[in-house]
Structure 1
């Protein structure tokens, strides 16, 4: 259970970082042509959010299968 708590907390912090990088991107674009590292800076937190979000999405289905209940499909 500690692992799940750590993933959820990281997902929250990654969302804050992602939001800040997107805001910084818009501010930099308003001031002119931004450097490439500013434009691509939201991609790393976005991909990390994708993986942690998919993990949390699949968790209930894994737990349901682990309980021994047959899944109807």
Structure 2
């Protein structure tokens, strides 16, 4: 598996984990048992989604700029 495919897989799995963390966060808030670390459950995947998403967004442009062919 090359770097691009690995980044795509990580981004896909993080995009699955993020809504689950948000749902858990909402359930805990609805129960009135909110603690700070539960809020961080949703922020952690989001913080990792940002760099992987930016990398995947820029990938075709950088590849074209270098004169290569996009792979993935």
- The question of a shared fold, defined as TM-score above 0.5 by the shorter chain, is answered with yes
Output the CA distance in 1 between the equivalents of 2:47 and 2:54.
11
- Identify the structure with bigger relative contact order (alpha carbons < 8 Å, sequence gap 6+): 2
User: 1:12 deviation in Å?
Assistant: 0.5
CA deviation after TM superposition for structure 1 residue 44, in Å: 1.1
CA distance in 1, matches of 2:10, 2:55: 12
Unaligned runs of 5+ in 2: none
Matched with 2:61 is 61
Give the CA RMSD over aligned residues.
1.4
Larger Rg over CA atoms: 1
Compute the TM-score of the two structures, normalised by the length of structure 2: 0.87
1:63 aligned counterpart, secondary structure: helix
TM-score by length of 1: 0.86
Q: Does the residue aligned with 1:42 lie in a helix, a strand or coil?
A: helix
Segments of 5+ residues of structure 1 without an aligned counterpart are: 69-73
